[in-house]
Chain A
Amino acid sequence: MSRDINIEAQEKVWDADRPRWLDWKEMWDHRELFYFFTWRDIKIKYKQTVLGLLWAVLQPLMLMVIFTLFFGNALNVPSGSLPYPVFVFSGLVIWNAFSSGLTGAANSMVSNAQIIRKVYFPRLIVPVSTALSAFFDFTIAFILFGLLLIFYRQPVSISAVIYWPLSVLLAFLATLGPGSLLAALNVKYRDFRYVIPFLIQLIFFVTPILYPFSVIKLPWLTYVAALSPMFAPIHLFRAPLLDEDVPIHLIVVSLTSLLLILITGILYFRKSEDYFADYA
């Protein structure tokens, strides 16, 4: 008897004509899949590699060395009160999470097409988990960042306790917005495969990562830089190290841009989700 009641309670109706909204409850029911997809991505990434997790550190480290040599030394790009390596690494460490998370998320629906064609689950889990696995690499690189701070005897404001987690969270949301948008577009139009690396490069140079915000002299250009969803996370990440005056309204512009892209991304993803299996 109890079984019957149980089953009645689980009654679900799927109507072809009724539009479905993002189903949070369903997502919550599948919460373990977030973990499993992320876990699998991390496992697979470092299987059969000799250096393993070191790769997560090597990439930003090498970039730091190159940028320090060419931008810091050769071009004499200013870096405020910070040594240039610390300055550039503090930007790169969080940028790297964004760029590899975005690349992964944007390709995630296509690379998991096999699974999508055979099993149902809320599809948003796939790009979210792929981005999460990139942020796992971030934690490794972050340890290196800590060592770098110690090496340069760089004082860190106590506010880092708030700024850093906040910045990482924002960077994750900044990844998720374009990530889910591109993931959905990529399923339908494979053109976006070629758009992704280009887009990432574009945002990289627009965002003040290699150079401090203060070198932008033209007022309208500051708004262009602030349109980058990564503008706010990177600034917030550096805030405990650097006293650089970034006007609050530019932070608001960046956060607005971040939020708009996030909402657009998730809505578009939701809207096209049903038909992924037909195109993938």
Chain B
Amino acid sequence: MPDKKPHLEVHNLSKSFRINHQIGGYLSLRDQISGLFVKGKMQSEEFYALKDIGFEVSEGDSLGIIGRNGAGKSTLLKILSRITPPTKGRIIVRGRIASLLEVGTGFHQELTGRENIFFNGSLLGMKRKEVQSKFDAIVDFSGTERFLDTPLKHYSSGMQLRLAFSVAAFLEPEIMIIDEVLAVGDAEFQRKCMGKMQDVSQSGRTILFVSHDLDAVERLCRKAILLQQGSIASQGMAGEVIQKYLASGGSVPPGSWPLAGGMLLKALSFADNSILSGDVLPFEIELHNTNDEKPDLTDLCLLFYNYKKQRVAIYDLRNFFGNFQWTGNRISYRGVIQRFNLVEGEYQVGLFYGIDGKHGDLYEVVKLQVKRRPDQFKVNPYDLQYRGFVDLM
């Protein structure tokens, strides 16, 4: 038998953007026209989101793509999904390809569950007959049969998510591209999804999976590539690549972190970056608004990640009324977490934000070292690996 050709080949793939420093948001014709006359005023800079990427995925293999925010993971997925074209390079695809960059793409609040299943399924590349034949299974998997003919706007967000994932779960392309869609939903449903994805990868289909959840990558993918600033920093068996990624971590960019809507995170700090498990944890956070108008800040939470980059805790910073205290153009917040009950270890603290309807995560803003309490009266404490994340004391 001749060598089987891989399902997916990527050769010398690059994507560059031109950044004009003076233009924000979308272009307006005036900017373009005035740009014709006022030369040299606009600083334009070429930015490579991806540089010379090359890899292959053979049939039935699963490839995890890991890396920090801004390393180019999403751009790579978008190119492979044909949503945006590469600047250079070549991609060879053998088989049907379907991508899940989001669950519930095209879901419409006014349409019923049934209607949304058909529209979404069709968008993802299913034929109408295919949706029809899988319809019962999809509904069954989502557990929303009672609401099938209710408009989606009356669904809870959890139900919408379940419905969305269920449609996606019954896609049967040869190659499937998945972007972190598992990061949402309740634990029970996440487990169900992981199970489904494992079935999919074992059924001979090819999976590309991007996630910050290294645990999920390790479980689901045989191989992995690590992206760093648009290039492949490491490529090989998933376990080894994850090790390299963990070893390279730790450095944090100085200055401020851009959020959405012109907001910057200026500071996030703790009174002490090394505390004892169960201690009080005073913290300070400062946000600046750089736009003329105040953006609508709806969500702000501290996120705590363990050494495996799994999220282990969240701390909501919204006040009782769900809004934030502005002082001029700043939000400055001092708070205290009364008992920081996570077990000892090294944690990364990030931020979840919702600004003007856009939500996003910062993953690694500060490091927090948690040590075991010396005065614990338990005579012989168990090893860390048996104790989970939270010390209930």
Contact = CB atoms under 8 A, between A and B. Distances in A.
Contacts of B151: 47
Contact of A48 (B91, B96, B110): B110
Interface in A121-170: 121
Interface string A156-189: 0000000000000000000000000000000011
Given A32-B122, A115-B123, A119-B83, A8 B27 contact: no
Contacts of A14: 82, 86, 90-93
Contact of B93 (A12, A47, A121): A12
A278 B84 contact: yes
Contact of B105 (A4, A17, A115): A115
B232 to A, nearest CB: 18
Interface stretch (A36-44, A203-211, A214-222, A235-243): A36-44
Interface in B77-100: 78, 81-96, 99
A59 interface: no
A28 interface: no
A195 to B, nearest CB: 10
A11 B84 contact: no
Interface string A183-200: 000001111000000000
A245 interface: no
B94 to A, nearest CB: 5
A16 B59 CA distance: 24
A13 interface: yes
A277 B78 contact: yes
B119 interface: yes
B82 A120 contact: yes
A11 B90 contact: no
A120 B27 contact: no
A274 B122 contact: no
B286 interface: no
B53 to A, nearest CB: 12
Contacts of A120: 81-83, 99
Given A10-B96, A12-B93, A15-B90, A189 B27 contact: yes
A5 to B, nearest CB: 11
Given A47-B110, A189-B29, A191-B28, A119 B94 contact: no
Main secondary structure of the interface of B (DSSP, over half): loop
Interface residues of A, number: 38
Contacts of A117: 83
Nearest to B81: A120
Contacts of A15: 90
B123 A121 contact: yes
B381 to A, nearest CB: 48
B4 interface: yes
Contacts of A116: 83
B174 interface: yes
Contacts of A17: 88
A47 B150 CA distance: 12
B91 A7 contact: no
Most buried by B among A32, A119, A188: A119
Contacts, number: 112
A76 interface: no
B4 A277 contact: no
B356 interface: no
Nearest to B179: A118
A70 interface: no
Interface in A9-25: 10-17
A275 interface: yes
A223 interface: no
B285 interface: no
Nearest to B175: A7
Interface in A71-107: none
B372 to A, nearest CB: 45
B322 interface: no
Contacts of B28: 189-191
Interface string A42-72: 0110011000000000000000000000000
A16 B92 contact: no
Contacts of A13: 90-93
Contacts of A7: 7, 59, 94-95, 174
A4 B204 CA distance: 12
Given A12-B92, A13-B91, A190 B86 contact: no
B358 to A, nearest CB: 12
Nearest to A112: B106
Interface of B: 4-5, 7, 13, 17, 26-30, 32, 59, 78, 81-96, 99, 101-102, 105-106, 108, 110-111, 115, 118-119, 122-125, 127-128, 151, 174
Which 9 pairs from chain A and chain B are nearest by CB? A120-B82, A274-B85, A47-B110, A191-B29, A189-B29, A16-B86, A118-B105, A36-B122, A277-B83
21 contacts: A11-B92, A13-B90, A14-B90, A16-B88, A16-B89, A32-B127, A33-B122, A36-B118, A40-B108, A43-B111, A115-B105, A115-B123, A119-B99, A119-B106, A121-B125, A189-B28, A189-B32, A274-B84, A277-B78, A277-B83, A279-B27
